[in-house]
Structure 1
Amino acid sequence: MALGINLSFCVKRWVTPALWARLVREELGLGLVQLSFDLVDPMWPDDVLDKVAADTRKACADHGITLHSGFAGLAAYTFNLLLHPEPAVRDASERWLTRAYAFCEKAGIRAAGGPVGAIAARPDAVEADAIPEADYADLVARLTRLADRAKAHGLTELYIEPTPLRREWPWTPAQARRLMADLAGTAVPWRYCFDWGHAILTPPYTAEEARAEPWLEAVAGDIGAVHIQQSDGRLDRHWDFTEQGIVDPAAVAATLARFGLADRPVFLEVFYPFEETDAVVLDRVRRSVAALTSAFGRD
């Protein structure tokens, strides 16, 4: 398995390609990267995006880095995206994603993805077991259109990241299987970026459900990439592997291999308080990569 890293840990710190590329290769010893759109806003002016794309290509070539995909980060995830209650906001999210695909084309990235959206909370705060069917149908239509746009920008794969929230889609293995069936045959294939830490939370899952295996049994063939994080199983922590938690990298690697996913890239995805010092963040990421290398190898 190839170990890579999502650039989430670089946000507000190592924010230019020259900075993060050198750090990833020379400090972490990695050559596989998932670019976070917390570092590049697709709504920046075209001339700014063109320069960042050119700088990204050069930095990756200079340091021998492969850019696997562009991925929505925390900034985009803050919004409700393709499931916002206002149709005009959903339209704006489609434009945002289309511009993200255009940036990927210019930067030499062939895949993109992230969580797709969240419906609004109800006034009584009751969370249903599924989003309304009308919202689901609209989501499928938008994802189908986005696949057409991705193909026009030269992308070859798109990713949906399931999240453990009842207001988002999909949050269960059955929903994930249904969505893949309804997206079959799109211009660019939709696949899942499976986050191990999302699958093990209680709630929303019961103690029996809070395992990766139900997801892998349902959609292993549709998983194109994996996120790994340390977690206590209570909240979506995105801790690094200097923290104590319930995720065992060797067990993760063995389980992925058992389900035929040994060739999928595995990306460390961790977040830090902005107030933490840069030195502490770099040290903890370096130690986390070292802890994961024995289980997953390096690109």
Structure 2
Amino acid sequence: MNIRLGISTNFAIKRWADPEDWVRMVAKDLGLEQIQFSFDQFDPRSRQDIMAAYAYRVRNACEKYGARIHSTFTGLSIYPHNLLYHPLAEGREDAVDWFVKAFAMTRELGADAIGGPYGGMDLATFRDPERREEIEALAEEVLVRLLWLAEDYGIKTFYWEQTPILREGPVGIDSTRRHLERINRLRGGKGAEFALCLDVGHAISPDAGAEDRDPYRWLESLAPQAPIIHLQQTDGRYDRHWPFTAGSKSRGIIDADKVLRAIRTSGAADTLLLIEVGHPFEEQDDRVWQDVAESVEYWREALKNITSNEGAR
């Protein structure tokens, strides 16, 4: 079992915009090598020469400090859009345009993987069974087309992030597994692989059964299909993205030792854990950084413990 630790740039949104700053902070101050780049840091629809200049800065900073962009991620700014589930054809084509430009920026950043949710239905569509089935089929058709296109940009993997919202796709363990299998079957072995990004804070859907609201069951069942796992502290009621601090531990349900044991039980061979914490923009900046550093240390210690225990066997 190989488990590595990295971090999403989610923590840096609006506070640390220059790659020289956030790459240094991650690699030198936190001691992490693997970075997932959120498109909240920079819009992939920017003019091509501007985007390329920014990506050049990121690559230079990574080389300078010994870090790498493992993958890119959709981020909060595009998440509220309907994207591939848009009820209108022009809305879905606009989503294709966004993803293609995101593929291009991913390549410029030196990464070969991208991830995130790929859309959500509007209420009118969701509440009409026939229309819902139609849009689901259209979304899958467009998604497969995107996976094929991704290969042209050197993208090897698309990490789909399952969410707790039924209008955005499956909310259960078995239905999530079936969706992964179906999309990979539809792409026919061509294009980017459709893999899972499992977020430990997403086992909270009110539309799911009791077992599907247990984050450890998700890990035990699906960690082998989830090469990357997002880490956040949550109370099991909402998608909180709290840090892993002493203050949040008393009200949170995510325990590092339990997470690592569940991954080990699953039989997953290679897993990248990505800390994905978010603070209100009103939070004091020094507090944000302190929480991020404490969260990294919490998971680093847990990884040391499980490694020591395995070595003692």
- TM-score between both structures, scaled by the size of structure 2: 0.88
In 2: Cα distance, 1:27 partner to 1:207 partner: 40
Indicate the structure whose relative CO is greater, using CA pairs within 8 Å and at least 6 residues apart: 1
Name 1:198's counterpart in structure 2. 202
SS of aligned partner of 2:77? helix
- 1:87-146 CA-to-partner distances (Å, cap 9, x unmatched) read 2111111110111110111110110010111001249xx979999221221122111111
Match of 1:258 among 265, 284, 292: 265
Q: Is contact 2:201–2:234 with CA below 8 Å preserved after alignment?
A: yes
- Tell me what 1:147 maps to: 147
Q: Does 2:157 match 1:157? A: yes
Q: What's the Cα RMSD here?
A: 2.1
Identity %: 36
How far is 1:262 from its partner? 5.0
- Is 1:115–2:122 an aligned residue pair? no
Deviation, 1:261, is 2.2
The residue that corresponds to 2:238 in the other structure is 235
The alignment status of 1:138 with 2:141, answered yes or no, reads no
Alignment of 1:44-63 (within 5 A): 44-63=46-65
After superposition, what is the alpha-carbon deviation per residue over 1:235-275, rounded to whole angstroms, capped at 9, x for unaligned? 00010011131100111011011112252100010111111
What is the aligned partner in structure 1 of residue 22 from structure 2?
20
- Is 2:216–2:259's contact at 8 Å kept on the other side of the alignment? no
Aligned partner (choices 263, 269, 277) of residue 270 of structure 1: 277
Q: Cα deviations across residues 56-75 of structure 1 (Å, max 9, x unaligned)?
A: 11010111002110001110
1:215 corresponds to which residue?
218
Question: How far off is 1:181 after superposition?
Answer: 2.2
C-alpha separation between the residues in 2 aligned to 1:247 and 1:128? 37
User: Can you give the 5+ residue segments of structure 1 that lack an aligned partner in the other structure?
Assistant: none
Do residues 173 (structure 1) and 173 (structure 2) align? yes
Unaligned runs of 5+ in 2: 305-313
Indicate the SS of the match to 1:54. helix
How high is the TM-score relative to the length of structure 1? 0.92
Count of matched residue positions in the alignment of Structure 1 and Structure 2: 294
The answer to whether the aligner puts 1:226 opposite 2:233 as a matched pair is no
Please identify which structure carries the higher helix content.
Answer: 2
Q: Is the 8 A contact 1:101 1:112 kept in 2?
A: yes
